[in-house]
Amino acid sequence: MGKVLIIGAGGVGTVVAHKVAQNPEVFTEIMLASRTKSKCDAIAEAVGGGRIQTAQVDADSVPELVALMKSFQPELVINVALPYQDLTIMDACLECGVNYLDTANYEPVDEAKFEYKWQWAYKDKFEKAGLTAILGCGFDPGVTSIFTAYAAKHHFDEIQYLDIVDCNAGDHGKAFATNFNPEINIREVTQKGKYWENGQWVETEPHEIHKPLNYPNIGPKESYVIYHEELESLVKNFPTIKRARFWMTFGQEYLTHLRVIQNIGMASIEPIMYNGVEIVPIQFLKAVLPNPGDLGENYVGETSIGCRIRGLKDGKERTYYIYNNASHKAAYEETGTQAVSYTTGVPAMIGAMMFFKGLWRKAGVHNVEEFDPDPFMEQLNKQGLPWHELFDVNLEL
Ligand code: NDP
């Protein structure tokens, strides 16, 4: 059906490559390109079957991306490099007439602030070029936004309260490690909290609001309100929402390490001089922390991510909880990565499948909740991320 170019050969890129290769009727030709070609080669070999071509590319360079796209001529790029590369990849797509999909919104390297304004500004350009850009197609953002769209389509006339709950109850046996790119992860969890209430954003100190929440098959875990990017598009696309929050679980040990990292300045994004060389502390820290892609081998336990929703159906109040639990061990057995990479890479592949099947094609720049959730939800069940629904339950929130 189509030619796909995957950019980024980290944990998520590994899963995308495996899953794309598992669906040959949709993805007829596959190229995996990243900064370090040897990583692409290793993934292609692990997938096997000689189906994946590889290439080296610096995705910060539009001319390099353009040269690669012109020679391979993909119909769609799946961007699973870092958020810093979103705009250069979108520029190259426009220049070459290629459609675009990613899992994380653009962040400038020198400002730890993620918001959609930079990518939404490309709307007219993609519309005029007749190209589709699908933003935020991982798990959160991604599946959580599609869960919300599915709830709005099938179970609610009006969604009023949305709480996205993200629990990782896994144990990788390390004192401290992040489950995806450490730089992006630490930037995300150390910033101030923010949630939407009555038409405006309410800011909190980092980790100020917290409470134990019960997760299916896991039990109670302390959960913290943090800001997460899908809130921005969801409150725009579902204007009946009165309050939208994002909760994430953290262990005490993890938070203690984070506090120390911040207190000693290792989370800083300001460059410093060290022995005559300019280094960015958080980038140096990334170099000494465990590689998230290597955590899988002894990782046990599950993730549980879902949406807890309160709203109106036929004039009556209703509560609804939709979630997926994913096992680190099962993810490792299938793809050699842990469940956080798995739960991001599988939806990215499904979004690309929706595009190639012609189900999610709309010129412009769109967040995933703007598309029909039904065919995507069907594929989640088939591609390794089954979901469950609970009606009229105590949401604890
Ligand atoms: P990794 O750090 O493991 O992988 C990133 C990959 O991108 C690496 O292969 C890296 O190359 C490559 N890369 C970085 N800079 C460049 C560049 N300039 N040119 C070419 N390639 C480059 O990250 P993850 O796989 O954990 O995460 C990938 C993306 O997924 C991130 O954007 C992350 O924010 C997002 N994500 C989204 C989630 C969701 O649910 N929506 C959840 C988790 C992650 P090299 O190997 O040389 O370093």
Kindly state if the Cβ of 8 falls inside 6 Å of ligand 1.
Answer: yes
DSSP secondary-structure letter at 370?
G
Residue 150 has what pLDDT? 98
Among 347, 341, 349, residue whose Cα is nearest residue 293: 341
CA 161 to chain centre: 22
Atom index in ligand 1 nearest the CA of residue 143 equals 40
Residue 294 has what pLDDT? 85
Please state, as a whole number, how many other Cβ atoms lie within 10 Å of the Cβ of residue 278: 8
Atom index in ligand 1 nearest the CA of residue 137 equals 41
Say which range, 136-140, 164-168, 239-243, 255-259, has the weakest mean pLDDT.
Answer: 255-259
The pLDDT tens digits of the residues spanning 16-35 come to 999 999 999 999 999 999 99
Q: Rounded CA gap, 385 and 142, in Å?
A: 13
Whose C-alpha lies nearest to ligand 1, atom 1? Answer: 10
Cα 230 to averaged position of ligand 1 atoms, centre (Å): 18
Cα 63 to averaged position of ligand 1 atoms, centre (Å): 20
Q: Sorting pLDDT into bands at 50, 70 and 90, what band is 127? A: very high
The predicted model gives 234-251 an average pLDDT of 97
In this predicted structure, the answer to whether residue 329 has a pLDDT above a threshold of 80 is yes
Residue 112 has what pLDDT? 72
In this predicted structure, the answer to whether residue 380 has a pLDDT above a threshold of 90 is yes
Cα 198 to averaged position of ligand 1 atoms, centre (Å): 35
Q: Find out whether 66 and 45 touch, Cβ atoms under 8 Å.
A: no
Q: Find out whether 258 and 188 touch, Cβ atoms under 8 Å.
A: no
In this predicted structure, the answer to whether residue 139 has a pLDDT above a threshold of 90 is yes
Whose C-alpha lies nearest to ligand 1, atom 11? Answer: 35
Kindly state if the Cβ of 39 falls inside 6 Å of ligand 1.
Answer: yes
Atom index in ligand 1 nearest the CA of residue 291 equals 3
Q: Rounded CA gap, 372 and 360, in Å?
A: 7
